[in-house]
Chains A and B, each alone.
Chain A
């Protein structure tokens, strides 16, 4: 059974940093692209970052480019999201998602809440 378990969320002040982690199990982690997708309270879904299975390439939307960094440790089956210079509009539930070769998101974690507020 595919499982994705996120940790690291919480309340953080604007301009500060936070790092999310996602531990994967139930599949061969280094065979799959991985991503982070977020959902602001009561809102829709927004893709945040993707990384290839080797970690050699990463992709971001303009809204987070230069502030967020996705990375992975294939030996530890763990995905990360380093979030810097956080803004109030980054407040959301962040989902760790397995991505089918850069296309759709076939498995989702339970999500972790990030609140950016002073």
Chain B
């Protein structure tokens, strides 16, 4: 199985700040990567697919980038509603696997 390692596990940032979350795959996943946001007490929601494509309705302050084994999610101008946990997921190979998550809090 492909292992997905996210960093950091948690971070604290201020409103308006730019935040970056990293995800590393144990082998090349050829941009087969998605990012999800899970707000407290809610189900996950898709943000990004194919490493850099924005899902319908997702604000443009979210962006994804990367290639090979290294990928990142960037949130520009952090808003209070962005407080959540974020998960990456690879779908290049079965089984689809998730990163351990990054918990984002406000400073």
For the complex, what is the distance from the CA of A107 to the CA of B34, rounded to whole Å? 13
Contact across chains for A47 and B43 when beta carbons are under 8 A apart: no
A32 in contact (CB, < 8 A): no
Stretch from B15-23, B72-80, B91-99 at the A interface: B91-99
Give chain B residues whose Cβ lies under 8 Å from the Cβ of A105.
34, 36, 44, 46, 89
B95 CB, min distance to chain A CBs, angstroms:
5
Complex CA–CA separation, A22 to B38 (angstroms): 20
Total interface residues on A, CB under 8 Å, equals 18
Asked whether B95 lies within 8 Å of A47 as measured between CB atoms, the reply is yes
Does B45 interact with chain A (Cβ within 8 Å)?
A: yes
With a cutoff of 8 Å between Cβ atoms, the chain A residues found around residue B32 in the complex are: 103
Which candidate, A11-19, A67-75, A76-84, A108-116, is the interface stretch facing chain B? A108-116
Chain B residues within an 8 Å CB radius of A44 = 87, 98-101
On whether A45 and B98 interact (CB within 8 A), knowing A104-B91, A105-B34, the answer reads yes
* A103 engages B43 (CB within 8 Å): no
* Most B CB within 10 A of own CB, among A45, A59, A105, A107: A45
Among the listed B46, B87, B96, which residue makes an inter-chain contact with A107, where contact means beta carbons less than 8 Å apart?
B46
Q: How far is the CA of A106 from the CA of B54 in the complex (A)?
A: 11
Q: Mark A20-63, 1 if CB is under 8 A from B, else 0.
A: 00000000000000000000000011110000000000010100
